[in-house]
A and B are shown apart, each in its own frame.
Chain A
Amino acid sequence: MDLYYIDYISVSGRSWLHRAPAGIKMLALVAIITVLLAFESISIEAGIALSILAMAVSARIPMRLYLPLILYPVVFLVILFLSIEGLTWHATGIIGLRVLALTGTVVLFLMTTSYPRIFGTLSRVLPGFLVAALFFTYRSIFLIADSVVNVRIAMHLRGGIDWKRPMATLRNFGMALGHIMIHSIDMSQRMADGLAVRGFANRIYYLDGGK
């Protein structure tokens, strides 16, 4: 599960980018996004994309994880480019490089800043209930990730996934997800009760303010 690995890298990394304050990195992220959106120049976009890649290397981000993540928008770009009449190399470069540079910047930010630090910083500007909802969602990912992986392995081992029989596979997959959903709903209710006992009132507090 990629999220486990991403979380591990962002929390346990010791590079200069990992040590930089989350607030400063967030401001840098906004500045880079602004520059990329303000200028329509291949050289500026390529320069920023290469700089971001160099920063990722210097922060020791594993490229086999980083590159597939920043290439995800290619699926959308292919659909967009196939829809363009008279597409030129220049236009392909302008749009493609901009999208890849922006995605690379955002993913690098996440891989060098843990979610709790991001949420802690956001808690200064966003309403408490939104930050609490983000925290609940993020925490829940790790609570149920094991169930998803275990059910998937069990389905493989018992022959539940066979794409030569798509209808049966989809039905099996649906029932497996239904099973995880019920397990998850029960778990969420226990989590809510636990939080209520501890005095949860629509807000998660971060001791270091997300620094």
Chain B
Amino acid sequence: MSHIHLPDGILPVWLWAAGYLLAFLLIGVLWRGGKATAEPRRFALLGILAAMMILVAMIEVPPVSYHFNLSVVTGIILGPRLSVLAALMVNVILSLIGHGGITVIGLNTLVLSTEMIAGYYGFRLLRRIGLTKAGFMATLMGLFLGTSAGFGIITLGSPWIDRVLRAGVTEELGPGIEGPYLNLTRLAILMFGVGAAGWVVEGILSAAILGYLHKVYPDVVSGGSRAP
């Protein structure tokens, strides 16, 4: 999978409350109290692309329950300011159907925003090596940073997870080990190892989408600035 939606109940309250605070702070700063929304066309574009991310996330690819998320392509089209709001919309609606937790909407928004914004800047930076190559590399970069953000969040919450795991455990498991604990190295191998396959698949898909958009509607992939 290229992206993991953190569920409810596995992270401490201080961490997800900080996630909400940071996400809303970011939106508040980027949107200047909502004054910037006086552009109905950009606003409608945000809605339709966020909806597209939600719909594509619901198409499962066999044989595993892998799904695409189009975060980087959407980030490239929308640009950083609209991306953060789109990430929030996607996470709010997905959390209500069980894809990601309601308490961790703020954290999942930060993770998804990281993917989108990193993808946007990565694409602009690499644009000179060719559109499809830049799209592929920007997607890898965005998803790697998004997964890193997700891993970083779990690492921050790991002392609390360890405490929950040890609740009710009375016997020692081994010398120096007081009870079950989250092995962050193993988690990193799983998240980045399994994730890497997903990043490549998503990268190829993103490159194909960007190539098609460039042929038919070049302004859309011009870095977001000249999009409708």
A87 at the interface (CB under 8 A from B): yes
Q: Which residues of A contact B186 (CB under 8 A)?
A: 82-83, 85
CB neighbours (8 Å) of A140 from chain B are 44, 47-48, 50-52
Taking CB as reference atom, which chain B residue is nearest A142? Answer: B51
User: Given the complex, which residues of B lie within 8 Å of A75, measured CB to CB?
Assistant: 1, 4, 65
The smallest beta-carbon distance between B83 and chain A, in angstroms, is 12
Determine whether the beta carbon of B217 is less than 8 Å from that of A185: yes
CB of B10 closer than 8 Å to a CB of A = yes
- For the complex, what is the distance from the CA of A91 to the CA of B181, rounded to whole Å? 10
Q: Does B207 contact A (CB under 8 A)?
A: yes
Q: Could you tell me if A110 and B97 are in contact, using CB atoms closer than 8 angstroms?
A: yes
Bound form: Cα–Cα A58–B112 in Å: 36
On whether the beta carbons of A83 and B47 are closer than 8 Å, the reply is no
Would A187 and B48 count as touching, CB distance under 8 A? yes
Please indicate the chain B residues that have their CB under 8 angstroms from the CB of A184 in the complex. 48-49, 51-52
Q: Known contacts A86-B179, A136-B46; is A141 also within 8 Å of B51 by CB?
A: yes
Who on chain A is nearest to B181 by CB?
A: A85
Do A143 and B51 touch (CB < 8 A)?
yes
Is B102's CB under 8 angstroms from A84's CB?
A: no
**Which A residues are CB-close (under 8 A) to B210?**
178
Residues of chain B from 1 to 48 with CB closer than 8 A to chain A in the complex: 1, 4-10, 13, 27, 31, 33-34, 37-38, 40-41, 43-48
B114 within 8 A of A: no
Q: Which residues of A contact B126 (CB under 8 A)?
A: none
Q: How far is the CA of A137 from the CA of B90 in the complex (A)?
A: 8
Residues of B within 8 A of A139 (CB): 47
Q: Is the CB of B177 within 8 A of A86?
A: yes
Q: A86-B181, A178-B209 are in contact. Are A72 and B98 (CB under 8 A)?
A: yes
Interface: A11 (CB within 8 A): no
Query: Do B212 and A178 touch (CB < 8 A)?
Result: yes
How far apart are the CA atoms of A93 and B38 in the complex, in Å?
49
Contact present for B212 and A202 (CB under 8 Å)? no
Give the chain B neighbours of A136 by CB distance below 8 A.
43-44, 46-48, 50
Beyond A82-B190, A163-B62, 19 additional contacts (C-beta under 8 Å) are A1-B58, A37-B13, A76-B4, A85-B177, A98-B8, A102-B101, A103-B101, A106-B8, A134-B93, A137-B47, A137-B90, A144-B51, A177-B70, A178-B209, A181-B220, A187-B48, A189-B44, A192-B45, A200-B40
**Shortest Cβ-Cβ A-B pairs, 9 listed:** A174-B208, A136-B47, A178-B212, A140-B51, A129-B34, A73-B7, A192-B44, A83-B187, A102-B8
Which of B's residues lie within 8 Å of A, judged by CB? 1, 4-10, 13, 27, 31, 33-34, 37-38, 40-41, 43-52, 54-56, 58-59, 61-62, 65, 70, 73, 77, 85-86, 88-90, 92-93, 95-99, 101-103, 164-169, 173, 177, 179-184, 186-187, 190-191, 194, 201, 204-213, 216-217, 220, 227-228
A-B contact pairs, 28 of them (CB 8 A): A3-B97, A29-B102, A70-B98, A71-B98, A72-B99, A86-B180, A88-B168, A88-B169, A91-B165, A102-B8, A106-B102, A130-B27, A130-B88, A133-B37, A133-B85, A140-B48, A148-B56, A167-B204, A178-B209, A179-B216, A180-B52, A181-B49, A181-B220, A184-B48, A185-B48, A187-B48, A193-B41, A202-B37
